[in-house]
């Protein structure tokens, strides 16, 4: 489905089901198919709203910088468009950074958070320089070059070595991302604030999931969030790197399902 919101076209899937509505935000530079296993398993049990973030998948890119607040405002506009007031908000990696921004701006709309393969800290200076390099790589050489650079770190070493179909799936997702969308999100992530002080304010239940072999946002980052969140459960997923929902779909789905049942 598509909607014209905030001056751009946003693509999303909206699977009907009982409350609470669950939103799943993909990471960078991916698209909503990141969640296809969880959507297939949970469809009909919850309303599932799965957008392509601006500049990703089939959603339009806007030149310039896409801040985490921009993405959060897009989501609020999408929920208004769908007539949905409150949601459980899940996000992987950049999706988690957006979940923090959404909490700061629209906390009354959040029933719970699911933070997958993400971190609360802002970028280091070195990290910010890397963001600019990726933005320029996308602008100068296209999304396929970004795929080649990022792929090895996105997956657990064994996934990367032994599961060529999964590697190809992720490569396709990245290569299909508009270069302007990659550049805008990369520069937006560099600007994001430190969300460590936000953690203590998050008074709703939070499920924290991390791949045991996540090289980009390692288990130590997830443990730090779980320690500082008032109501967190931490699940470490063996055999997964940064893309746990794709690498170990059943384990991620069953953790999510069990937590959602307790929340309901
Ligand atoms: C993501 O998966 O969204 C990115 O790896 C996030 C990041 O680079 O910090």
Q: Which residues line ligand 1 (CB under 6 A)?
A: 27-28, 93-94, 189, 216, 242
| Atom nearest to 123 CA in ligand 1 | 9
Please give the backbone phi and psi of residue 226, each rounded to the nearest 5 degrees, phi first.
Answer: -60, -35
3-state secondary structure 100-131: HHHHHHHHHHEEEEEEECCCCCCCCHHHHHHH
Q: What percent of the chain has pLDDT over 70?
A: 100
Q: Residue 51: which residues within 8 A CB-CB, separation 6 or more?
A: 10, 11, 12, 13, 23, 25, 32, 59, 74, 75, 78
**Residue 32: pLDDT over 90:** yes
For position 13, what pLDDT does the model report?
98
**Residue 117: pLDDT over 90:** yes
Distance 18 CA to ligand 1 centre (A): 31
Whether the pTM exceeds 0.85: the reply is yes
Contact, 103 vs 110, CB < 8 A? Answer: yes
- Provide the β-strand partners of residue 209: 116, 235
Reduce the DSSP state of residue 234 to 3 states and report it: strand
| Atom nearest to 150 CA in ligand 1 | 5
Q: Provide the mean pLDDT of the chain.
A: 98
For position 81, what pLDDT does the model report?
98
Q: What confidence category does residue 109 fall into, taking pLDDT thresholds of 50, 70 and 90? A: very high
Q: What confidence category does residue 264 fall into, taking pLDDT thresholds of 50, 70 and 90? A: confident
* Residue 12 tokens, joined: 């999303």
Q: What is the mean pLDDT of residues 151-165?
A: 96
Q: What is the mean pLDDT of residues 154-179?
A: 97
């Amino acid at each position: 489905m598509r909607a014209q919101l905030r001056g751009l076209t946003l693509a999303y899937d909206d699977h009907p089901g009982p409350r609470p509505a669950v939103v799943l935000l993909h990471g960078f530079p991916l698209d909503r198919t990141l969640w296809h296993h969880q959507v297939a398993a949970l469809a009909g049990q919850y309303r599932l709203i799965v957008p392509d973030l601006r500049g990703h998948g089939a959603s339009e890119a806007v030149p310039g910088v896409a801040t985490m607040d921009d993405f959060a405002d897009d989501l609020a506009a999408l929920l208004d468009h769908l007539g949905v007031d409150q949601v459980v908000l899940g996000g992987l990696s950049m999706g988690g950074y957006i979940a923090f921004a959404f909490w700061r701006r629209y906390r009354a709309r959040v029933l719970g958070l699911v933070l997958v393969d993400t971190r609360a800290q802002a970028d280091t200076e070195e990290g910010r320089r890397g963001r600019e390099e990726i933005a320029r790589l996308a602008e100068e050489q296209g999304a396929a070059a970004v795929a080649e650079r990022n792929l090895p770190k996105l997956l657990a070493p064994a996934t990367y070595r032994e599961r060529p179909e999964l590697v190809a799936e992720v490569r396709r997702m990245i290569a299909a991302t508009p270069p302007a969308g990659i550049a805008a999100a990369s520069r937006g992530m560099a600007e994001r604030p430190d969300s460590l002080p936000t953690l203590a304010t998050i008074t709703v239940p939070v499920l924290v999931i991390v791949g045991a072999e996540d090289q980009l946002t390692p288990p130590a980052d997830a443990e730090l969030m779980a320690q500082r969140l008032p109501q967190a459960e931490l699940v470490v997923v063996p055999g997964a790197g940064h893309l746990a929902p794709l690498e170990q779909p059943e384990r991620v789905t069953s953790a999510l399902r069990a937590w959602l049942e307790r929340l309901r």
